[in-house]
A = this chain, B = another copy of it.
């Protein structure tokens, strides 16, 4: 009898793993259990379907369950939720949501790829139907439908992180009045606050109201209740309050978890329990600068750790060397990216740092359609090692963060950055690339 791999979760990490395992082991029986209706979708595309930039949610599905069945003989079961894992018995308890029946399924290898759970504020009214998450394609569908019904004039977004701000812009483009409410004192806490301020200014220019240092204490139909007794009218609420690793199954099964509750895995994506693997947002990840395992919820990491798990499960050898938390977005005509540690985070982690922020041109100064970009570099005192970078600017600026990410991966110093042989021609860059200019300034 052939061995069986059971994958829990049919998105990026789970299906990357399933595909990679299949490629190496044609004999393996592979069952992928997905609670929702979709597999392998780009949740990060949801804001663009609301704004209308992307025509249809279906465009976000990279590969459908049927394609996995037909092309890779992967037994994808959508609408099947795993209720429990029994590592001793090597089995999972599954509920077929449509038929309402439960069954037990044995495994030889198990991959937990359950992703993240939206953090829902624990306040009255959070489960009212006008309060929406932005996690799954089902969430996206409900948002698109709710906005299509046409009663949506005012939208409140709770949470000023990436996804919250992307949804805020999407609803402004769609034609609503939008207010973003956040408990912190600046938007995008992933950035240093002086750069967050530039993002906020761009949002305000776009017509988005931003309320900071403001907590949400509850929801009533048509209203968001704020601390201090004030309230905001809202036809629709979007929760952009972040994700926690969806590790309940693992915890209940006695599989150890670590930072922020993420499942602890090693460099091959093995948990500490025999035969059980984990990958994606539910698992922890080695941070190349912090040199310890942290929870990082990023699609890129999910795809890559899923691939590593799949190669290993398939009998090959792959090891995941870690990540930097590199991220990028475009908000209100501003490109934004970061990698490694911000100055704030580096100091909080006990690093002594030097930092500099410069403004430069995306092209040669004299070249048309030139725009301004801001580069912030953070380096360790003494060693000069680059710890992080942040870029904000016009078209053609933010993807340059990859150069800094590559440099950090190679443990380069600020001096090394000055000497990088980066590409120059008038339509692409000043003769001193903005990253090299930032490095020269920091020296």
Q: Please report the C-alpha to C-alpha distance between residue A432 and residue B300 in the assembled complex, in whole angstroms.
A: 7
- Shortest CB distance A373–B (Å): 12
Is A44's beta carbon under 8 Å from chain B? yes
A321 contacts partner chain B, Cβ-Cβ < 8 Å: yes
Flag if B367 contacts A326 (CB, 8 Å): no
Q: Counting CB contacts under 8 A, is A426 at the interface? A: yes
Which of A323, A328, A432 has the most C-beta atoms of chain B within 10 angstroms of its own C-beta? Answer: A328
Which of B321, B335, B337, B422 is in CB contact (< 8 Å) with A326?
B422
Bound Cα distance A76, B296 (Å): 56
Q: Determine if A26 is an interface residue (Cβ-Cβ < 8 Å).
A: no
Residue among A60, A329, A416, A422 with most chain B CB within 10 A: A422
What separation, in Å, do the CA atoms of A71 and B157 have in the docked complex?
52
**Does A103 reach chain B (CB closer than 8 Å)?**
no
| A421 to B401 alpha-carbon distance, docked (Å) | 10
Chain B residues, Cβ within 8 Å of A367: 45, 48, 53-54
Contacting residues, chain B, for A295 (C-beta < 8 A): none
Contact present for B425 and A328 (CB under 8 Å) = yes
Q: What CA separation (Å) do A130 and B220 show in the bound complex?
A: 80
A112 to chain B, nearest CB (A): 20
Give chain B residues whose Cβ lies under 8 Å from the Cβ of A325. Answer: 421
Q: Contacts of A416 on B, CB cut-off 8 Å? A: 321, 409
Q: Given contacts A42-B364, A320-B419, A366-B60, is CB(A330)–CB(B407) below 8 Å?
A: no
Determine if B337 and A423 form an interchain contact, defined as CB atoms under 8 angstroms apart: yes
Contacts of A45 in B (CB 8 A): 364, 366-367, 426
* A35-63 interface bits toward B, Cβ cutoff 8 Å, 1 = contact, 0 = none: 00000001011001000011000011000
- Closest Cβ of chain B to A221, distance in Å, is 34
Contact A421 B364, beta carbon cutoff 8 Å = no
Residues of B within 8 A of A44 (CB): 424-426
A336's closest neighbor in chain B, by CB? B425
A residues 397-425 touching B (CB-CB < 8 Å) = 398-403, 405-407, 409-410, 412, 416, 418-425
Chain copies in the assembled complex: 2
Chain B residues whose CB sits within 8 angstroms of the CB of A368 once the complex forms: 53-54
Q: Are B396 and A423 in contact (CB under 8 A)?
A: no
The answer to whether the Cβ of A271 comes within 8 Å of any Cβ in the partner chain is no
Q: Would A323 and B421 count as touching, CB distance under 8 A?
A: yes
B403, A423: Cβ atoms under 8 Å?
no
Note all chain B residues with C-beta closer than 8 A to A339. 421, 423
Q: Which of B12, B421, B427 has a CB less than 8 Å from the CB of A330?
A: B427
Check if A303 is an interface residue, CB within 8 A of chain B: yes
- In the complex, what residues of B have CB within 8 A of residue A328's CB? 423-425, 428-429
The reply on A324 being an interface residue by CB < 8 A is: yes
* CB within 8 Å for A423 and B410 given contacts A54-B367, A368-B53: no
A residues 272-307 near B (Cβ < 8 Å) are: 288, 298-301, 303-304
Residues of chain B lying within 8 A (CB to CB) of residue A409: 410, 412, 416, 419-421
Bound form: Cα–Cα A435–B409 in Å: 15
Contact between chains at B42 and A299 (CB < 8 Å): no
Find chain B residues with CB under 8 A from A401 CB: 423
Q: Which A residues contact B (CB, under 8 angstroms)?
A: 12, 42, 44-45, 48, 53-54, 59-60, 288, 298-301, 303-304, 320-330, 335, 337, 339, 364, 366-368, 396, 398-403, 405-407, 409-410, 412, 416, 418-429, 431-433, 435
A–B pairs, 22, beta carbons within 8 Å = A42-B364, A44-B425, A45-B367, A54-B366, A54-B367, A299-B424, A300-B421, A300-B422, A300-B424, A303-B432, A323-B421, A324-B421, A327-B425, A328-B424, A328-B425, A330-B425, A337-B423, A398-B428, A399-B429, A401-B423, A405-B422, A409-B420
Q: Report the 3 A-B pairs with minimum CB-CB distance, sorted nearest first.
A: A410-B410, A328-B423, A59-B366
